[in-house]
Amino acid sequence: QLQLVESRGGLVQPGGSLRLSCTASGFTLNNNYAVGWFRQAPGKEREGVLCISSTQSLNYVDSVKGRFTISRDNAKNTVYLQMNNLKPEDTAVYYCAARWNPGTPICGMRRNDYGYWGQGTQVTVSL
């Protein structure tokens, strides 16, 4: 069974940091895959936050530039989302997603760009 599993999120104070991981099982999540992180706040549409292409190019939504970054550890079959200087408006359920897309320099930021999804993990930024 092909799965992506996100690590547990949690409660973080404004200005704090949190790293989420996304680990694949049943397939090798290597550089042939584009990987995206999405989030969905209550009452809002799921939005793309940032992604990494199979050629390691990054794409960000403006609201997280300079604060969030994404990285791979192919040996661990894992992709990470590092979130710094968190704000209350970052509160959401976060999802990772992957797509087999070798040699493609641009990664997508739309839900339909990805075929594999994790189950989501709650991140709450509050005092």
- Mean pLDDT for all residues in the chain: 96
1 pLDDT higher than 90: no
What tens digit of pLDDT does each residue of 61-102 get? Answer: 999 999 999 999 999 999 999 999 999 999 999 999 999 999
Which structure tokens are listed for 11? 């409660």
pLDDT score, position 99: 96
pLDDT score, position 2: 87
Give percent of the chain above pLDDT 70: 100
What tens digit of pLDDT does each residue of 10-69 get? Answer: 999 999 999 999 999 999 999 999 999 999 999 999 999 999 999 999 999 999 999 999
Contacts of 66 by beta carbon, 8 Å cutoff, 6+ apart: none
